[in-house]
Amino acid sequence: MKAVYASEEEILRIGEGVYACDLPRAEWTHAAHFAAALWLMRYRPDLEPSREMPKLIRAYNESVGRVNDDTGGYHETITQASLRALRGVLDASAADIPVYRIVNALMASNMGNPNWLLEYWSLARLMSVEARREWLEPDLKALPF
């Protein structure tokens, strides 16, 4: 698979762009969600990702004209599951490995598929209003992280 990012500067631009709500909407991809979360974990240790990322995503969505409601925008279960997985990946990586390389490896793995969480949640449970609003445990199998 072709690398998504070629430099750490791209990760910094994405993370800072989401934080400032000025990242172009077309760049807010599956890979960019991971890049922003890993940016937060690596470069903003003063912020707690499980509390900060929901606020960042909601604010960013609103800044680009998207609505955070029961059918679209921010999704609590997907965000928290992704943060747990990304924390595990980051903690297992050497501290000197650039984030862009971690994101590229993730995009080449099963996590590169936006539907990767369907291994743990049924589609109905994961896409429910309840899962969008609050954390729901997986119903198919436990998360490994």
Residue-wise pLDDT tens digits, 34-58 = 999 999 999 999 999 999 999 999 9
Supply the pLDDT for residue 145.
84
Q: Tell me whether residue 42 is in a domain.
A: yes
Write down the pLDDT at residue 2: 75
pLDDT at 23: 98
Nearest to 82 by CA among 44, 36, 42: 36
Domain count, the chain: 1
Average pLDDT in the chain: 96
Closest CA to 110 of 144, 71, 75: 144
Assess whether pLDDT exceeds 90 at residue 1.
no
| pTM for this model (two decimals) | 0.95
Domain membership flag for residue 29: yes
Is the pLDDT reported for residue 136 higher than 90? yes
Q: Is residue 31 part of a domain?
A: yes
Instruction: Give the residue numbers spanning the domain of 33.
Output: 8-61+71-113
**109 domain-assigned:** yes
In the predicted model, what is the mean pLDDT of residues 55-66?
97
Residue 98 lies in a domain: yes
- Does residue 81 fall inside a structural domain? yes
Residue 143 has pLDDT above 80, yes or no: yes
How far is the C-alpha of 65 from the C-alpha of 28, rounded, in Å? 13
What integer is the mean pLDDT of 101-119?
A: 97
Q: Answer whether residue 121 is part of any domain.
A: no
What token pair was written down for 41? 């974990």
**Per the domain annotation, does 44 fall within a domain?**
yes
